[in-house]
Amino acid sequence: MALQVGIVGLPNVGKSTLFNAVSNSAKAQASNYRFCTIEPNVGQVDVPDERLAKLAELVQPQRIVPTTIEFVDIAGLVKGASKGEGLGNKFLANIREVDAIVHVIRCFEDENILREEGAINPVSDKEIIDTELQLKDLDSVEKKMARVEKMAKNDPKAKRHLEVLQRCQAHLGEGKNIRGLQLEGEDLEAIADIFLLTQKPVLYVANVDESAIHTGNKYSEALVKAGEEEGAKVIVMNNSIEAQISEMESEEDKALFLGEYNLEEPGLNRLIRAAYQLLNLITYFTAGVQEVRAWTIHRGWKAPQAASVIHTDFEKGFIKAETIGYNDYVQYGSEAAARENGKLRIEGKEYIVADGDVLHFRFNV
């Protein structure tokens, strides 16, 4: 599944530094001037999962393949982007293409790093981007309303869509994001073709200085409060420290470095896991002597859908899924032992895959 999370924020808040840290496959230029990032950089990121390592320890495969998410470093936004200011049109188009948003916000003081928005104010910074996305969405909603209004006179479905669009228009007009409406089912059909920016799930990163990585500061606290009001999570971290950790090749060096800052793990691990959860994703595993592998699926998927991420033929010719829960697999130490103890289940087409399931699909095409 090629799922993408876009890293966004005002210029010079630490977006590209975070991207450099979070990505193992691409490096973004991080410089102290506006629009350093013009074309979006894309990096594929391993999702940290201790369960994969444990299964590999038991199976001793030839290779281990983690599941991944793609992070996209998008050009910094400025006020007026919804009207094309700066790189506004390109920025907004790039956001439209991602599945979720990680919004990096500056929560530190440093007179050596340029800032055109005045005093440090994370809530105000958040609102600048929110406003630009809302204005762009309002434009999209009103353009569709103009198209639907004529049809709504004689078409009940179009009338229903118009009512949903009117709700969206009023919501955006109040300075609120579409995700707050929590639209479901048929209501989502009304806006499915206009790909609203503020409908996307969001995660905030409070980029703090070194002294605040454990306790946060007044800036990150204000951002956490603002995030709680809209039901969004805030990850507090120092992007520069994370970039340094990511450049270390030795796990021993990383452990020593983390120890110096009294950190149990990189903040990036928390960010990646939070982004994974933000997209409502879960992981299942396949385990054999050739490879132990993690696979990404959406929560609630049935077994044939889950099989399709390995190969579409697995879904087309699905027969059954041999299933062992992760805890059972670890408890008994192998597939054979789990089978002998009655922990291997045969599941059919209606089975909803659980997070951590170890699966083997039977199919015929």
Residue with tokens 């048929």: 186
Tell me the H-state helices in 174-286.
186-189, 218-229, 239-246, 251-260, 267-278
Angle formed at CA 126 by CA 16 and CA 261, multiple of 5 degrees:
50
**Structure-block tokens of residue 158:** 């179009």
Per the annotation, where are the binding residues for ATP?
12-17
Which positions ≥6 away from 154 have C-beta within 8 Å? Answer: none
Are 206 and 107 in contact by the 8 Å Cβ rule? The answer is yes
CA atoms within 13 A on the CB side of 222: 17
Which positions ≥6 away from 334 have C-beta within 8 Å? Answer: 58, 59
Number of H helices, E strands in the chain: 14, 12
Q: Is 54 exposed, middle or buried (0-12, 13-18, 19+ CB in 10 A)?
A: middle
Per the annotation, where are the binding residues?
12-17
Quote the crossing angle between the two packed helices 156-173 and 122-152, to the nearest 10°.
Answer: 160
DSSP assignment of 134-177 equals HHHHHHHHHHHHHHHHHHHTT-HHHHHHHHHHHHHHHHHHTT--
d(CA 154, CA 235): 49
